[in-house]
Amino acid sequence: MVKLKNIIAVRHGNYSSKDGLLTKKGIGQMIELGLFLEKNLRGSVEILSSPTPRTKQSAYTLKSKLSSNREVKTCYELLCEEDNLYPGQEVDIHNKILTLGNKVNNLVLVSHFAIIDYVNYFAKEECGMSIGLENLAKGRAVHFYSESKIHKIIP
């Protein structure tokens, strides 16, 4: 059995309001993050993405810098149309993670601004801590080390 060691919650990169695709800056953000993860993650990597164009493009750009041979998987639980998750969405995301927890070492969630709601939920449920994260800039991520129960904003 494989043990989940890291959860990386990624907010999509900068995107154009015209077509919903990443700008050059957004692509650069995901390349930088992908290179950081390639250097710092060990073991198997699973990437789950919200189904929107900007998150899928972010996920595939990030994956292009990883040596993982796994495909990006669409995860409808990560879809957030507003700035907040719908009631109970944190639990839906968490249940999805629990089903993958014994299959991969590293789980990357590519989503939207509201992913911070899940990050706060995860910290409370799994780590017994309140981190009160209120903002996560586009192209940034929160990296949780589940074994040591610490987190940091990357890159």
Query: What is the residue whose two structure tokens read 């930088």?
Result: 32
Q: What's the pLDDT score for residue 114?
A: 81
Q: What's the pLDDT score for residue 110?
A: 94
Structure tokens at 95: 């249940």
User: Is 88 a domain residue?
Assistant: yes
User: What does each of the 155 residues of the chain score in pLDDT, given as a tens digit?
Assistant: 557 788 899 999 999 999 999 999 999 999 999 999 999 888 888 899 999 999 999 999 999 999 877 789 998 888 876 666 677 787 888 887 777 767 888 889 999 888 878 877 777 877 777 777 778 889 999 888 777 677 788 88
User: Is 109 a domain residue?
Assistant: yes
| Nearest-angstrom CA–CA distance, 123 and 144 | 8
Q: Count of domains in the chain?
A: 1
Contact 95, 115 (CB under 8 A): no
Strands 141-145, 6-11: pairing kind: antiparallel
Q: What's the pLDDT score for residue 70?
A: 78
Is the peptide bond prior to 155 cis by the omega test (within 30 degrees of 0)?
yes
Question: Which residues on neighbouring strands pair with residue 128, listed in sequence order?
Answer: none
User: Is 111 a domain residue?
Assistant: yes
User: Is 23 a domain residue?
Assistant: yes
User: Is 1 a domain residue?
Assistant: no
User: Is 73 a domain residue?
Assistant: yes
CATH code for the domain of 19:
3.40.50.1240
Q: What's the pLDDT score for residue 105?
A: 86
Contact 94, 121 (CB under 8 A): yes
Contacts 24+ apart (CB under 8 A), 117-124: 117/84, 117/85, 117/89, 117/90, 118/9, 118/85, 118/89, 118/90, 118/93, 118/94, 119/9, 119/144, 119/151, 121/90, 121/91, 121/93, 121/94, 122/7, 122/90, 122/94, 122/97, 123/151
Structural domain containing residue 105 = 6-154
**Structure pTM?**
0.87
Q: What's the pLDDT score for residue 81?
A: 63
